[in-house]
Amino acid sequence: MSRGRRYETEGKLNYQKVFAVIIAIIVIAMVVMIIKNVFIQREKLNKEYEYFTAFSADKWGVINQDGETVINPSYQEMIVIPDKTKDVFICTYDINEEDGTYKTKALNGKNEEIFTQYDQIQVLENIDENDNIWYEKNVLKVMQNGKYGLIDLNGKKLLDCEYDEISAMKGIENSLLIRKDGYVGLANNAGTILIDVKYSDIKNLGTTYKEGYITTDENGKCGIVSTTKIQILENKYNEIKQVYLGDNYYVVEDGEEKIINQAGETLIDKGFDDIKSSTKRGIIFTQKDLYGEMTTSGDILIEAKYKDLKEAKEGIYIAKKDEKYGIIDEKEEEKVPFEYTGIIYNEKANLFLAEDENYKTTIINDKYEKKLNGVLVELNVNDKYLRMRVDSDYKYYNLNLEEITSQEALPNNTLFLKKENGKYGYVDKKGNVVVDYIYDDATEQNSYGFVSVKKDGLWGSIDKNGKTIIEPKYNLENNLKIDFIGKWYLGEEIGVNYYCDK
């Protein structure tokens, strides 16, 4: 017999409480997701991005260092990024090849047009001695009403739009030629006018802007102006050679070649055919196509008998004899035999790099000892290491030429290249295998976290966690450098620096 409902022992479900608990769980989950998303967005806002030109399906766009598309590839002409750390992208469009006209605009990382008050916006392109293209830092050329001026990458006006043309001095940074009414002057990248617009020509004296400039007036006479606007030599010389000699100058006056000082006094006017460079002791000169050294008084220090001669550091010279390079001292005593096809001195590392016929490099220390030999892959003076391929293995060394691990050389990396049984893979900082040894070739992690891997003749990429981004599928045999950002690989034209997908 039943005892009644209030005496039932079987539990009953309270649906209102259950429903409330479910709602609470959902709300908590949503709050957690919102907070997580806020942190992700905040991280993205605070993250310092770098940007790269991208090429896909015959169109140009922009990606960032994570391989994410910033500007969809949709432009016929290459998008130019004057500074990879700033989201300012210069686009060219509406090109009329018949009359040579075109339009330009600047976009930011949100694909919004900026600097719209100008009729045209252009980068100031330059080129180095190896034909690598680069752009003047933090400056753009803009046009209004047919005249040119300068702004910085934030849009701040640096020079009014009043010039007929503005261009970079070839191979010299921070030196902008400004032209007006048939004359030329010079400004720096901050818009400061260093030389007034009153000359027929302006050239660099040395290999950087710091050495000053050669000016030519309307009468064809040459002088020297420093980067601090000081007139060092008045415009009275027929020619001034583009050879930096410190406080001395190589000039032609009344048909006579000579070396003069800042006061215009003649130091040397005979005993040479040409002057090549200055040294701590004097100058390198040539006579009958052979190189020697003399003082600024004309006294011979090293007879003109070498096919090439360069001062590496005080009292030490890289010389060429019988088509081979070696190293000599100021007494012409041989420090390194004449047996190399080329020698370079790296001042910051204080090392000599000597290359032979097989394109292998011998590393020579400051005691002129031959310490290492192999294919030099990288010399990084900032992080104080060098990487070489010795036989078939990659090895790392510090600048004392002591072997170190890749973990010691690259402390910020998460993956480290390792070879086992003829195949490449990756380990972490503790040596644990992250990527199996299955690849025929591979690269170390780049500064954006990606590695490039090769298998069966094709290349692909892996991210910083060891996750495959793209399986090996690209034939990059024509590429001088292999590098990936996400699915994008570095283009063949190495001096242009753009990334592709196929």
Q: What is the CATH number of the domain that holds 354?
A: 2.40.10
Strands (E), 269-315: 274-278, 283-287, 290-294, 300-306, 308-313
Residue 240 resides in a domain? no
Residue 307, helix vs strand vs coil: coil
Determine, yes or no, domain membership for 86.
Answer: no
Mean pLDDT of 477-492: 95
Please report, rounded to a whole number, the percentage of residues in the chain having pLDDT higher than 90: 86
Same domain, 481 and 430: yes
Q: Is it the case that residue 32 has pLDDT exceeding 80?
A: no
Number of domains in the chain: 3
Q: What is the pLDDT of residue 100?
A: 86
* Residue 455 and residue 400 share a domain: no
pLDDT number for residue 169:
98
**pLDDT for res 22:** 72
Six-digit token string for 118: 């100008």
Tell me which residue of 160, 186, 161, 188 sits closest to 173, measured CA to CA: 188
For residues 257-276, average pLDDT: 96
Would you say residue 73 lies in a domain? no
Regarding whether 486 and 442 lie in a shared domain, the answer is: yes
The pLDDT of residue 456 is: 98
Residue 68 lies in a domain: no
What mean pLDDT comes out for the span 308-318? 98
- Please say which residue of 309, 336, 363 terminates a domain: 336
Mean pLDDT of the chain: 93
Residue 305 lies in a domain: yes
| Final residue in a domain of this structure, among 336, 366, 390 | 336
Could you tell me the pTM of the whole model?
Answer: 0.85
Mean pLDDT computed over 94-120: 95
Q: What is the pLDDT of residues 381-402, one digit of tens each?
A: 999 999 999 988 899 999 999 9
Q: Domain range holding 419? A: 406-502
332 & 350 share domain: no
Q: Tell me: do 275 and 325 sit in the same domain.
A: yes
Q: What is the pLDDT of residue 25?
A: 75
CA distance 306 to 414: 50
pLDDT of residue 37: 57
Of 382, 396, 386, 394, nearest to 351 by C-alpha is 386
Angle at 496 between CA 109 and CA 122, to 5 degrees: 55
How confident is the model at residue 21, as a pLDDT? 64
* pLDDT reported for residue 4: 39
pLDDT of residue 242: 97
Q: Spell out the long-range contacts of 420-429 with Cβ–Cβ below 8 A and sequence spacing 24 or more.
A: 424/453, 426/451, 426/462, 426/466
Confirm whether 395 is domain-assigned. yes
Q: Same domain for 392 and 433?
A: no
- Residues 165, 159: Cα–Cα separation, whole Å: 12
Domain boundary pick from 318, 336, 354? 336
Q: With 60 as the cut, is the pLDDT of residue 89 above it?
A: yes
Q: Which residue has the tokens 């994008």?
A: 488
Quote the pLDDT of residue 28. Answer: 74
Q: Encode pLDDT of 441-481 as tens digits.
A: 999 999 999 999 999 999 999 999 999 999 999 999 999 99
Both 433 and 350 in one domain: the answer is: no
Give the DSSP per-residue string, 447-498. TTS-EEEEETTEEEEE-TTS-EEEEEEE--TT-SS--EETTEEE-S-TTT-E
- Is residue 328 domain-resident? yes
Band the pLDDT of 495: cuts 50, 70, 90: confident
Whether residue 476 is found in the same domain as residue 464: yes
> Is there a single domain that holds both residue 388 and residue 318?
no
Whether 390 and 435 map to the same domain: the answer is no
Residues 6+ apart with CB under 8 A from 410: 383, 416, 444, 445
Q: Write the pLDDT tens digit of every residue in 143-192.
A: 999 999 999 999 999 999 999 999 999 999 999 999 999 999 999 999 99
Q: Are residues 454 and 500 in the same domain?
A: yes
Q: Confidence band (pLDDT; 50, 70, 90) for 5? A: very low
Q: What is the pLDDT of residue 15?
A: 57
114 three-state secondary structure: strand
Q: Is residue 69 part of a domain?
A: no
Tokens read off for 368: 């002129």
Least confident of 13-17, 76-80, 96-100, 191-195: 13-17
